[in-house]
Amino acid sequence: MAATPSSSDEQIHPLKVLVDKQTNKVLFAEADKDFVDVLLSFLTLPLGTIARLVAKESNIEAVRVGSLSSLYESVAHLEEEHLCTPTCKEMLLQPRNSMEAYCQQLRLNIDDTDPTKFFLCENLECNRKCKGLVSLFRNQRCSCGKLMNTVLTPKNIILEKGFVKETATFIVSDDLYITPNVFGASVNLFQKLGIEYMETVEEQIVDITKKEVVDLLKFSLISETPMTDFVLKKELCLDNFIPINQYQFKTGEVPSDEGRKMVVKVQLRKSDGKIVFAEANEDFANFLYSFLTFPLGGVLHMLKGSSSLSCIDKLYKSMTELSSDRYLNSQELKEKLANPLCAPQFNLSNQILPIGAKELPTYYFNSSKGHNLSLFTLPKSVSNYGERNAPLNIVDPRSPAGKSSDSQGFAKEPSMYMVTDDLVVTPMSSISAVSYLNRLRVPLFDLEERVITIGVKEGLGILKASLTSTSALTNGLKHLTKESDFCITLGDAFKGPSHIWDGFLGYLYSKRK
């Protein structure tokens, strides 16, 4: 059962579940709007937010998500001097949710990211000259050089009431598949699970708080039976779980690449064909950093619903099958959940993957009444906004000079970066690279340098692998490097010195194992 809340004002939500006493498994939960809204909110969370949330202690210990956790940690340890602005680090470690308006009023909202705020220049005269700028981040530099730290709240911000209709109820299976709460659905589930007699079925009530929701998020990423593990095995050590990536990784089909490409050098370990590390410029670093800003549902959309996180895939699929007329608040909302975008200003202008960012409306500023400032939008039908209402430009948080134009990315240029197989991104250093090879006990004769081209197909491969694998580069680029499985030929071995023979014999031994 769930732990007692730590504070009296913490929201508690009861959840009714059916448990099979013979197998000690949860058959399904009977859930109302509050619980299903929470599950669907998982799809709106940026990957960086997920990496941050599951790295914290809850009722269970912290967990790691494929290579995303190491990517997130490498950003946390990165010196700000390598980023375009100090705000870049905040953007990557605390990425905003483009659907925050739907999540902020959830009873059990676990996203602890600060909601979007609007800041004007502290110099009011600057704003009155009709050249005003607005920033979505505090302490950005205005074009006049002053800090932008005057907080304004737009007049017409609307917070939505979650995702599903108020009176709708649902059945949530052990693998997080959501179906409407009708008796036929429960009978079908009983039959599918081989349940014939109700004597083995027991009803339980579980009290849920935000801490329990974080538990469920963790289990959904590492287990194929998250409801059972969440409800019945609270004290089970996570060491008993076999991470999904250890036994399942399928690249799936991804679209051909007709757009922009990046070139990187990779160091392959010839004895096993694994990528030890990649060396690339800031474009590749920005590309990997951008993973942290992608909403989970947007990733599922790009991967056509197949992320190799089996329960997340089923949650996503079940959402797409819910009727927007009967169960979801609107068809427009269903389309947003099926393909949530990055938050405004969090996208890359030269992104190679097919994901965009939510657009902000044009904001206007009125300072006609002394220091009484107001920020608002106007209907599209209004063509004349008046002399005193000045349209504002949005400051690019990655621009150190207070410009409103889009910048290329987060990392300063020109720079070179070293990226390990598990996506630890660090500024390139030959000494650090040698130290890394020593830690891995990789001799130089076992290395082969390859120059590879990364487009959409390769980018999606790395993204998919990052969700479940700690060898994201090797698994994501397998189709480019697999021909190196026999990269030491017999001819090379006969012609080469003795250390080549050593490498060749090591290769044969690894294949035998």
Q: Worst-scoring range by mean pLDDT, 163-177, 188-202, 240-254, 268-282?
A: 240-254
Looking at per-residue confidence, does 7 or 40 come out higher?
A: 40
Please list, residue by residue across 289-323, b when 16 or more beta carbons sit within 10 angstroms of its beta carbon and e when fewer do: bbbbbbbbbbbbbbbeebbbbbbbbbbbebbeebe
- Residue 197 CA: distances (Å) to CA of 20, 30, 41, 188: 10, 19, 35, 14
At 17, list the tokens: 């579940």
* Assigned token pair, 278: 């990649």
Q: Quickly state the pLDDT bin for 87 (edges 50, 70, 90).
A: very high
Distance separating alpha carbons of residues 381 and 323, to the nearest angstrom: 32
Listed range (69-73, 241-245, 410-414) with the worst mean pLDDT: 241-245
Report how far apart, in Å, the C-alpha atoms of 357 and of each of 54, 91, 97, 317, 348 are.
Answer: 25, 14, 11, 23, 9
Position 42 confidence tier, pLDDT thresholds 50, 70, 90: very high
Residue 360: predicted pLDDT: 83
Task: Point out the least confidently predicted range of 182-186, 394-398, 508-512.
Answer: 508-512
For 366-379, what is the mean pLDDT?
Answer: 60
- Is residue 99 pLDDT above 90, yes or no? yes
The one-letter amino acid at 362: T
262 neighbors 283 (Cβ within 8 angstroms): yes
- Answer whether residue 170 shows pLDDT above 50: yes
Q: What pLDDT is attached to residue 263?
A: 94
Average pLDDT, the chain: 83
| Position 254 pLDDT exceeds 50 | no
Give percent of the chain above pLDDT 90.
58
Rounded to whole angstroms, the Cα distance separating 1 from 8 reads 18
What are the distances in angstroms from CA 465 to CA 68, 300, 478? 10, 13, 10
Q: How confident is the model at residue 238 (pLDDT cuts 50, 70, 90)?
A: low
What does the pLDDT read at residue 145?
81
Residue 46 has pLDDT above 80, yes or no: yes
**Residue of 408 and 181 predicted with greater confidence:** 181
Whole-angstrom distance, CA of residue 425 vs CA of residue 77 = 10
pLDDT digits (tens, 9 = 90+) for 487-511: 433 334 333 444 444 544 454 444 4
Q: What is the pLDDT of residues 192-219, one digit of tens each?
A: 878 777 878 899 999 999 999 999 999 9
The pLDDT, as a whole number, for residue 363 is: 78
Q: How far is CA 290 from CA 141, 150, 247, 283, in A?
A: 23, 29, 27, 11
The rounded distance, in Å, linking the Cα atoms of 165 and 325 is 9
Instruction: Return d(Cα 484, Cα 446) in angstroms, integer.
Output: 12
In this structure, of 104-113, 294-303, 362-371, 430-439, the range with the lowest mean pLDDT score is 362-371
Phi–psi pair at 280, nearest 5 degrees? -155, 170
- Strand partners for 391: 364
Reported as a single tens digit per residue, the pLDDT across 121-136 is 887 777 666 456 888 9
What are the tokens at 4? Answer: 């007692």
pLDDT of 457 > 90? The answer is yes
* Least-confidence region, from 1-5, 88-92, 288-292, 362-366: 1-5
Res. 448: pLDDT tops 80: yes
Confidence of residue 367 (pLDDT cuts 50, 70, 90): low
pLDDT at 402: 63
